[in-house]
Structure 1
Amino acid sequence: MNRIKEVLDEKGISQTELANMLGKSFNMVNLYATNKVQPPVPVLYQIAELLNIDVRTLLIPNKIKY
């Protein structure tokens, strides 16, 4: 699971803008943002680089700390 949609909203960047920056279709970025398809790790790193954030910001932790 990823937080791409939430991070895009926080940064004020549209899925269309991200698609253009990545050189991918809007449909593919929409699949990533809605968690229907998980981006490959290299693409996840590319998204993080483009958004100027740590790649871990895009991920939902798999374990919750108590």
Structure 2
Amino acid sequence: MKIKPLNRIKAVLAEENKTNKWLAEILGKNVTTVSRWCTNENQPALETLIEIAKALNIDVRELIASTNTVTIVKSIDK
């Protein structure tokens, strides 16, 4: 069973044309640590997510993957 991503750090970095290395330098973290966040192997603390959002000048909610899934069912009348 595949684990669903809990954060969108990798996607947001790509959208902002930023790299893991850039984020690691801004936060004073190891590049390996940031890489693990980006692959959802590990999760940053809430305080760190807030720091990431500030560095990227975005709302922290943009870093969190939605757990809501919407299924649309179309009924076909015969």
Output the amino acid matched with 2:43.
Q
Pick the aligned partner of 1:19 from 12, 21, 24. Answer: 24
Pick the aligned partner of 1:46 from 44, 51, 54. Answer: 51
Moved over 4 A (4+): none
Output the amino acid matched with 2:16.
K
- TM-score normalised by structure 2 residue count: 0.80
Q: What is the deviation of 1:65?
A: 4.8
Q: How much identity, in percent, do the aligned residues show?
A: 41
Q: What is the deviation of 1:64?
A: 2.7
Structure with greater helix percent: 1
**RMSD, aligned α-carbons:** 1.0
After TM superposition, the structure 1 = structure 2 runs for residues 19-38 of structure 1, keeping only pairs within 5 Å, are: 19-38=24-43
Aligned length: 66
Q: What 5-or-longer segments of structure 2 have no aligned partner?
A: 1-5, 72-78
- TM-score normalised by structure 1 residue count: 0.94
How many Å separate the matches in 2 of 1:30 and 1:5? 9
